[in-house]
Amino acid sequence: ETGVTQSPTHLIKTRGQQVTLRCSSQSGHNTVSWYQQALGQGPQFIFQYYREEENGRGNFPPRFSGLQFPNYSSELNVNALELDDSALYLCASILRGSGTANTEAFFGQGTRLTVV
């Protein structure tokens, strides 16, 4: 177990709805990243939060948004859900300080989102 927990584990939503996924990072970790893993593919980077601010974003539209809270937990929000948003969403927790850009990430078990 990595100490990174995600909720819920599974979720079914209807196209056009909005969804919020949650992640509790490993104790002491100040950085959270979110990834989307479509079936049969590798995870794709959505965005990253460091000390409550977004500091990197992948090729995802603005309807994918996030938050990081003072305790470093995080939320991923997706508006106007589309069928192609069906995927496993992974949260990764990292301890990042100055000059330690490439450090090991600890992943949660993921949230399986199905859009119908």
Partner 1 sequence: AQSVTQLDSHVSVSEGTPVLLRCNYSSSYSPSLFWYVQHPNKGLQLLLKYTSAATLVKGINGFEAEFKKSETSFHLTKPSAHMSDAAEYFCVNSGTYKYIFGTGTRLKVLA
4/78 with CB nearer partner 1: 4
Q: Does 102 bind partner 1 (CB under 8 A)?
A: yes
* CA 68/CA 48 separation, integer angstroms: 9
Between the CA atoms of 38, 32, 106 and 71, what dihedral angle is there, to the nearest 10 degrees? -140
Question: Using the rule CB under 8 A, which residue among 11, 20, 30, 45 binds partner 1?
Answer: 45
Measured from the CB of residue 66, what is the shortest distance to partner 1 in angstroms?
14
Minimum separation from the CB atom of position 107 to partner 1 (A): 4
Which residue type, as a one-letter code, is found at position 67? L
Letter for the amino acid at 34?
W
Binding residue (CB under 8 A) for partner 1 from 26, 33, 74, 86: 33
Residue type, 62: P
Residue 2 touching partner 1 (CB under 8 A): yes
Is there a contact between 59 and 35 (Cβ–Cβ < 8 Å)? Answer: no
